[in-house]
Amino acid sequence: MKYIISIAIGVAVFFGSASLAHVIFHEKALTWIVGLTFGVLSMVISYKKIGDTSIKQSVADGISYVKATREEMISLIEDKDAELYAIAEQEIIDEVINNGLWSQALVKAKGDENLRKVEYMKLRVKQLKKKA
């Protein structure tokens, strides 16, 4: 039973961390490396913990570990996005914008010029992420 629970925790952490890594890095090899690293690590930790504590406590510890890892990865995403938003904002200030996105932004903003800038930034960040 101890093995099965450890493997289940490891698999869950693998898929969770791999999907977050894919969102951050957009690179298949790095996604696998991050997923396997966190998956194996959580499997080993949970296996050792199950012997020392109750199964319920071990599962709770595993969930806490996954949540903490998820929050760290989201923080990395937000830091990366902050740079991209700064680029998009500077484009608006310098009036060096992508005309197609600028037109899309107007439609999304339903004609509101202030909201158009916000929509442009969202569209431009999405485009910059795809290029990265």
Q: Taking CA 3 as the corner, what is the angle to CA 35 and CA 34, rounded to the nearest 5 degrees?
A: 5
- Tokens 């790095």 identify what position? 30
Structural domain including 48 reads 2-76
- For residue 102, the model assigns a pLDDT of 94
Reported as a single tens digit per residue, the pLDDT across 30-67 is: 666 766 676 666 666 666 666 655 666 666 666 666 66
Reported as a single tens digit per residue, the pLDDT across 91-119 is: 999 999 999 999 999 998 888 888 888 88
- Secondary structure of residue 81 in the 3-state scheme: helix
Indicate whether 109 belongs to any domain.
Answer: no
- If one counts the domains in the chain, the total is 1
Indicate whether 113 belongs to any domain.
Answer: no
Indicate whether 16 belongs to any domain.
Answer: yes
Indicate whether 112 belongs to any domain.
Answer: no
Assigned token pair, 47: 């296996």
Residue closest to 88 by CA, chosen among 49, 120, 56: 120
Indicate whether 28 belongs to any domain.
Answer: yes
